[in-house]
Amino acid sequence: MRTVEVTGELQEYLNRLVPPRDPVLARMEDEAEREGIPIVETHEGALLYLLVRIAGAKRLLELGAAIGYSGIWLLRGTEGGSLTTYEVDHKRAERARANFSEAGLGKQAMVLEEDAVNGLQKLEGKFDVCFIDLLNSFPSEDVTRQVFDLCMERLDAGALLMADNALRQGEVVRPKNQQARVKD
């Protein structure tokens, strides 16, 4: 079977296929690049938008808001839906709120400024989509498993669970790699 390595060049190519973004997203892309803030690639944002739209989802859950970039893509995929998103970093949470407002989504986005694992244990209600984008920060496979279980509890039947970097840049198929965060 032929394999395709997703190089930076290929990412650039895919990003160029996405139509020009509005000023809010374009500014956020520049800021993330300049400041080294880890946001999804442009083409991944477009995919999130598309998946939410295809699913007809309204109630969105996200773990790891950063400055709200993926959250804007997710919310724009809904028809007047709502997003609950966790961000433990105070400055990023503030920036995410400001960015959601500037994008006209301030009333639809709730940025919860706390550790997502703690927060999920208190969270009520059901969701149609969950996007997990903080797994690299987890210290052990137990916590990784716990996060997935907690998310599953919040999802309705037929809901969509998405996780960034689940393949660990290909590390999952390298048998020598014994790191818990990869094995799990």
Ligand X SMILES: C[S@@+](CC[C@H](N)C(=O)[O-])C[C@H]1O[C@@H](n2cnc3c(N)ncnc32)[C@H](O)[C@@H]1O
Which of 50-58, 98-106, 111-119, 149-157 is the region at the interface with ligand X (rule: CB under 6 A)? 111-119
Residue with smaller CB distance to ligand X, 65 or 159:
65
The 3-state DSSP class for residue 117 equals helix
Residue with smaller CB distance to ligand X, 61 or 116:
116
Euclidean distance between CA atoms 3 and 161, whole angstroms: 25
Q: Which residues fall within 8 angstroms of residue 42, CB to CB, at 6 or more apart? A: 14, 15, 18, 21, 29
Q: Does 130 bind ligand X (CB under 6 A)?
A: no
Residue with smaller CB distance to ligand X, 70 or 176:
70
Q: Does 66 bind ligand X (CB under 6 A)?
A: yes
Residue 47: its H or E element: helix 42-55
Euclidean distance between CA atoms 77 and 47, whole angstroms: 10
Q: Does 104 bind ligand X (CB under 6 A)?
A: no
Q: Does 59 bind ligand X (CB under 6 A)?
A: no
Binders of ligand X among residues 11 to 50 (CB under 6 A) are 38-40
C-beta of residue 67 within 8 angstroms of C-beta of residue 30? no
Burial class (CB in 10 A: 0-12, 13-18, 19+), 175: exposed
In angstroms, give the least distance from the CB of 97 to ligand X. 14
- Binder among 25, 74, 83, 88 for ligand X (CB under 6 A): 88
The 3-state DSSP class for residue 83 equals strand
Give the count of residues interacting with ligand X (CB under 6 A).
Answer: 19
In angstroms, give the least distance from the CB of 44 to ligand X. 8
Which of 49-57, 63-71, 120-128, 166-174 is the region at the interface with ligand X (rule: CB under 6 A)? 63-71
Tell me phi and psi for residue 24, to 5 degrees.
Answer: -65, -50
Q: Does 100 bind ligand X (CB under 6 A)?
A: no
